[in-house]
Structure 1
Amino acid sequence: MSTPERLIESTRELLWERGYVGTSPKAIQQHAGAGQGSMYHHFAGKPDLALAAIRRTAEEMRATAEAVLGGSGPAFARVEAYLLRERDVLRGCPVGRLTMDPDVIASDELRAPVTETLDWLRDRLAGILQKGVEQGEFVASLDPREIASTIVATVQGGYVLARSSKAPAAFDTAVRGLLTLLGACAPSSPTPASSASRANSQ
């Protein structure tokens, strides 16, 4: 791995673990096994390196989500696969955690990849849910954008619950609850008795 790559990957790890303030240039250099001269040869400074790291993390999150959401099959199955995919929930979301970092949120440049990624995820989920509505998987009254926002909020909130309780089960419970609610949005099929009653009345 080249020196710039080591610096970016080290910054990604440290941002995830310590946040922006806790990620000092010295800590990055030690983690990457690079000298101060090497770091400032490739990057203008800590903000420049942090931006490269955040962009890389955002790109990875999109690719991981798309690998599941981009599959074939019914909308519910694709959303379910996304919600149930393997995660290190006790570490939290590497992108979502940045929203709680005041230094990242205060910087338009550092915040942009975070906002763009979460917006992309909501839009991607909304598009899948919209197809589900159009194909009759969900009731016509379901609002794809509202449900997409609920999915993202549940995942991010699930990370918080799991980290707070130090138990992945808290995340799993939130996800199962959401899937139950989403499953309840399927159109109700008429029972044989009700179908027969309608036929006799015609």
Structure 2
Amino acid sequence: MSTSERLIESTRELLWERGYVGTSPKAILERSGAGQGSMYHHFRGKQDLALAAIRRTAEELRTTAEHVLSGPGTPYERIEAYLLRERDVLRGCPVGRLTMDPDVTASDELRAPVDETIARIRQLIAGIVEEGKREGQFTESLDGEEIGAAVLATLQGGYVLARASGSPADFDAGVRGLLSLLAPPTPTPTPTPTPTKEN
């Protein structure tokens, strides 16, 4: 792995663990094993390196979401697969983590990949909901954009609950709760008429 790659990957890890404010150039150099001055040889500074790291993390998250949400199954099953996919719940979301950093939210440049990723995933889910409505799997009253927001809010809120309690159980409970609300209604079986005895 080249020095610039080691710097980007180390910055991605540190941003996830410590956030932007807690990720110092010294910590990046120590984690990457790069020599003094390497950061400024390959990047203009911490913000430039952080931007490269954030873009890569956001692209990776987007690609994963697109892969799962465009996979096989009914619209409900694809949303279910996305909500239930394997995650390191107690570490939180590497993109959602950045929204808690005042330096990231104050910078249009650093915030842009985060905004784009959240918007893209919300758009994908909204499209799946509308597809499900056309196929009669979801009720007409559901709004795709609102469900997209609800899915993302459940995930991000689930990370917070899990980290607060130190257990993934709260994350899982939130996901199961949302899925139970979205589940297509089970058709009521038509009762079989009781045969009458002829006199």
TM exceeding 0.5:
yes
8 Å Cα contact 1:99/1:105 also seen in 2: yes
List aligned pairs for 1:42-61, cutoff 5 A. 42-61=42-61
Bigger helix share: 1
Matched-pair contact (CA < 8 Å) for 1:136–1:187: no
The total of aligned residue pairs comes to 193
Q: What code does the residue aligned with 2:152 have?
A: V
Q: CA RMSD in A?
A: 1.5
Amino acid at match of 1:22: G
Moved >3 Å (runs of 4+): 187-191
Which whole-Å CA distance do the structure 1 matches of 2:172 and 2:190 have between them? 36
1:36 CA drift (Å): 2.6
The equivalent residue for 1:15 is: 15
Counterpart residue number, 1:37: 37
Match of 2:190 in 1: 192
Tell me, in whole angstroms, the C-alpha distance in 1 between the residues paired with 2:143 and 2:55: 30
The answer to whether the Cα contact below 8 Å between 1:7 and 1:39 also exists between their aligned partners in 2 is: yes
Partner of 1:132 in structure 2? 132
Residue 169 of structure 1 pairs with residue 152 of structure 2:
no
Q: Distance in 2 between matches of 1:146 and 1:18?
A: 31
Matched, 1:64 2:64: yes
Question: Normalised by the size of structure 2, how large is the TM-score?
Answer: 0.93
TM-score, normalisation: structure 1? 0.92
The runs of 5 or more residues in structure 1 that have no matched partner are 197-202
Return the alpha-carbon distance in structure 2 between the equivalents of residues 98 and 172 of structure 1: 22
Paired amino acid for 1:192: T
CA–CA distance in 2 between the matches of 1:21 and 1:180?
39
Q: For structure 2, list consecutive stretches of 5 or more residues without a partner in the other structure.
A: 194-199
Distance 2:134 2:171 in 1: 30
